[in-house]
Amino acid sequence: MQHDHSDSIRRLKIVEGHIRGIQRMLENDEYCIDVIGQIQAVQSALNKISTNLLDGHLNTCLLSAIQGEDPAERTRVLKEITEVFETANKV
């Protein structure tokens, strides 16, 4: 199944620019709290991308598996979702 990832790609390019900006801030020995603020902005942007991808997955791949006839596929896809949340909650 083909997905339109153009919005996620656009957002990742913006994040890429922010990462370069953070690198410059560190090279210029800018105020640590300002650098941390930029890092948090990048983390927030990445979380938004992740949320968008998960939403797309839930509305395509997961729905197809749930509506399909293969119980093993349903179990596999549901397990993937659980693993994503488990990984997201690890620090």
At 6-34, the pLDDT tens digits run 999 999 999 999 999 999 999 999 999 99
Domain-located, residue 39: yes
**What is the span of the domain harbouring residue 11?**
6-88
Task: Rounding to the nearest 10 degrees, give the CA dihedral for residues 87, 62, 57, 76.
Answer: 40
pTM of the model: 0.81
Report the alpha-carbon distance of residue 40 to residue 4 in Å, rounded: 27
Task: Give the SS3 label for residue 3.
Answer: coil
Domain-located, residue 1: no
CB atoms within 10 A of CB 73: 14
pLDDT at 91: 61
Domain-located, residue 52: yes
Are the C-beta atoms of 78 and 63 separated by less than 8 Å? no
Q: What is the CATH number of the domain that holds 33?
A: 1.20.58.1000
